[in-house]
Amino acid sequence: MKKLIVLIIIILNISACANNSDESLSHDNFTLLHFGQVIEYYPDNEYIEVAVGKIIKGEHFGKRASYSNISKVGELEIKHGGKYLIAYTDENSPVYIINGNN
């Protein structure tokens, strides 16, 4: 229960950390919100592949997911093997990568 409350607070306050995004990070906008562990990351191509972990909202079929058009939230350094919160809306919108190690 405590983890759920902390997650809700993080999601609600995350737009304050989104210095590089004009869009709101309201959790209602996302069709898929899940944790993922980085398998491959190509910063020059803005492409990431993750092993799908706990799904918070939406459905995903399969053990892996790949995303392009990524947007890091806050001062985030994406590392191979790192765990992050992934917020996906659709293929035309940025995919937000949020620190999930806390």
24-38 residue pLDDT tens:
444 567 889 999 999
Report the range of poorest mean pLDDT among 22-31, 32-41, 60-69.
22-31
- pLDDT score recorded for residue 4: 63
| Span of 2-11, 34-43, 65-74 with lowest mean pLDDT | 2-11
Domain residue extents for the chain: 2-99
Report the b/e string of 34-71 with b at 16+ CB within 10 A. bbbebeebeeeeeebebebbeebeeeeeeeebebeebb
Superfamily name and number for 2-99: Nucleic acid-binding proteins (2.40.50.140)
Phi first, then psi: give them for residue 19, nearest 5 degrees.
-65, -25
Confidence of residue 7 (pLDDT cuts 50, 70, 90): low
